[in-house]
């Protein structure tokens, strides 16, 4: 999904909470998705790109 979005010249990020972040880490998928620990951090990341 990340590659498909970036190939179209778009930026995206998932605003996660602790449970989602932990689940992604446990199943070793954390690096596949751009994640932020809060909605504000996600918005700042998108604005900076």
Per run of 10 residues, the mean pLDDT along the chain (length 49 residues) is: 76 86 80 85 89
- What pLDDT score was predicted for residue 44? 93
Q: Write down the pTM of the prediction.
A: 0.64
Q: What total number of domains does the chain contain?
A: 1
Quickly tell me which residue has 């998705």 as its tokens.
Answer: 33
Give the structural domain span for 36. Answer: 2-48
Q: Distance between CA atoms of 19 and 23, rounded to whole angstroms?
A: 6
Instruction: Tell me the C-alpha distance between 49 and 39, whole Å.
Output: 16
* pLDDT computed for residue 30 by the predictor: 66
């Amino acid at each position: 999904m990340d590659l498909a979005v970036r190939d179209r010249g778009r930026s995206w990020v998932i605003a996660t909470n602790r449970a989602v972040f932990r689940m992604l880490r446990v199943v070793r998928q954390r690096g596949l998705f751009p994640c932020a620990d809060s909605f504000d951090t996600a918005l700042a990341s998108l604005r900076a790109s």
